[in-house]
Chain A
Amino acid sequence: MTEHEQLSEEEIAQLEAAATKLKVSDELTIQIKGMHKWYGSFHVLKNVNLDVFKGERIVICGPSGSGKSTLIRCINRLEEHQQGDIIVNNVTLTNDLKNIDLIRKDVGMVFQHFNLFPHLTVLENCALAPIWVKQVPRKEAEETAMKYLTRVKIPEQADKFPGQLSGGQQQRVAIARSLCMNPEIMLFDEPTSALDPEMIKEVLDVMIELAQEGMTMLCVTHEMGFAKTVANRVIFMDGGEIIEENEPHQFFDNPQHERTKLFLSQILAH
């Protein structure tokens, strides 16, 4: 980042401090090699190659229909890929249910529409998977749930039902619910796209905090501010292919590909 000569010394120092705080290890956690996916005869993902290292914060952007959601949904097998390899923490994703379970234990996911369980309270939403998947005793699971609800700043809503919360609160519960399973990797599928504008910040704040604690994150989002401040890598997808990837400042200031330039000009125009 220091090659940005137009930056003041102070800014450079800030960025460096942030970068050391968000140290990325050289340990691979997700490997995607020559992956293809079709919906029927429609070729959604074309020869996707991606290596993710522990502690990386990757933002994936691109026009709608570019396959970015599908890509991260393939990582925890919500979608099945037909060709190529996906390897998460040395486990290869195949039809073997045992492997799928292993990978899902390490990978948490946050959805655009929260997907909280409306018939369970906030606390029950969070404690459910630890109790049933990890066989954690109920009391312990509820304590952990409260810990994470406190971290996303809504411990007082624990006994309410999701339908009684605002969108921003629901999304924070969804993040807490994922964290309760103690995942190594978090996938975010447009986590702020369904929120009212005044609620986006409270969700992004939680995600920024998570990033600063060293969580590996793959985030499909249109929040370019988030990409600039948090991501260490931005990936641009179009037509099912990874068109361009770069560190955020290079990506925004100096896009290489015509399609990236067009996309950025469209979303940054207003």
Chain B
Amino acid sequence: MSSAIEEGKTYEPGTYPDLPPPASEIGVYGWVYNNLLKGWVNSILTAVTIVFLVVVIPPSVNWLFLNAVFEGASRDDCRAIMNEAGTNGACWAFIGHRFELFVYGFYPVEERWRVDISFILMLAALVPVLWDKTPNRGKLMIASAIAPFVIGWLLVGGLGLEPVPTDKFGGFMLTLVIGVTGIVGSLPIGIVLALGRQSHLPAVRMVCVVFIEFIRGVPLITLLFVASTMLNYFLPPGTTFDLLLRVLIMVTLFASAYLAEVVRGGLQAIPKGQQEAADSMGLKYWQSMRLIILPQALKISIPGIVNTFIGLYKDTTLVIIIGLFDPLGVGRASLADTKWQGLSTEVYVFVAIFFFISCIAMARYSLYLEKKLHTGH
């Protein structure tokens, strides 16, 4: 690339040199101008944003960290420390005291190692699923497929382990159990429903449409109530059917109906020529779906799929209504303690941070996946 043209020189057609961009397009000045100050609307927005950040950030940081109290045995301790310093901050000592309850719920203390191992197992099982450069991915995927059963056994017990009734489950552990089961279970069911809805067989199509429309047409809370109470009327008397299991089934079915519609949108975006090319080469229906259509349809659907997953994950807090102790349930129970009364802000901020971290992780992963799967220009 030539950096300058000679003054007054005329170039033969086809010999004009490539020039560097003007200074206003590059460097710090170019960035600030183009991103912050281009036109008066952008300049005003930049100013408003700066004012907003100045007003919001320092008090938040003060409340969350600088003025916060991390040690203490009761709310009065917190208050005493803050009164002495003349400041106002969060009383995280409360959360510290209840931390184990927030994480494990009422899971027996001496059995909590099983929850820890389950958590590590879950993370390990996720590695080959989420990261395609894992060495020996094929074999590890088989291990990942077995992991949920091992985790189930660890958490519930039996077969040599002390059984733990599922009503002892609670806190973040319960959120993860419901959220991860819902996510893992609803994706395949959703895909099958989406394919079924496009089937040439009227009976298959009917079943899928009725299922999807029924589940989508009813609020999740209603389904949870059905799971917790109504189901007993339909089941033969004397059968015990674990409440948590019923909730897991309902949450999974609920999410799968939404996913089916998201995936159907993706399927419809695939040009007809793709199916025709697969057909003309002799691929069978399931082969063409698995190898050609679904990889493309799911890729397009990633934002919608992750959106549904995030919704499902946060909807797990609804189980509080049928008496399960998710983090919000634990928080409410803790607030009833007279020693710590009036600290609801801390509880909800803490739970919000937990959900925010989980959900932002999912959102960022979906962005990474979209970028990775982008193969065109």
Contact = CB atoms under 8 A, between A and B. Distances in A.
Contacts of B280: 76, 78, 104, 107-109, 178
A182 to B, nearest CB: 12
A65 interface: no
Given A108-B280, A115-B276, 20 more contacts: A78-B279, A78-B280, A105-B282, A107-B280, A108-B281, A111-B276, A113-B271, A115-B277, A116-B277, A117-B274, A117-B277, A117-B292, A118-B375, A129-B281, A133-B283, A164-B375, A178-B280, A178-B281, A181-B281, A181-B282
Contacts, number: 68
B228 to A, nearest CB: 43
A25 to B, nearest CB: 25
Contacts of A211: none
A203 B284 CA distance: 29
Interface residues on A, range: 20 to 34
A173 B13 CA distance: 36
Interface of A: 76-78, 101, 104-105, 107-109, 111, 113, 115-119, 128-129, 132-133, 161-164, 177-178, 181
8 contacts: A78-B280, A104-B280, A104-B282, A109-B277, A111-B276, A113-B273, A118-B296, A129-B281
Interface of B: 271, 273-274, 276-277, 279-284, 287, 291-292, 295-296, 299, 373, 375-377
4 A-B pairs with the lowest CB-CB distances in the bound complex, closest first: A163-B376, A115-B277, A115-B273, A129-B281
B274 A164 contact: no
A101 B282 contact: yes
A128 B292 CA distance: 10
Contacts of B375: 118-119, 161-164
A151 to B, nearest CB: 18
Nearest to A124: B291
Nearest to B375: A161
Contacts of B277: 109, 111, 115-117
Given A132-B287, A161-B375, A119 B279 contact: no
B296 A133 contact: no
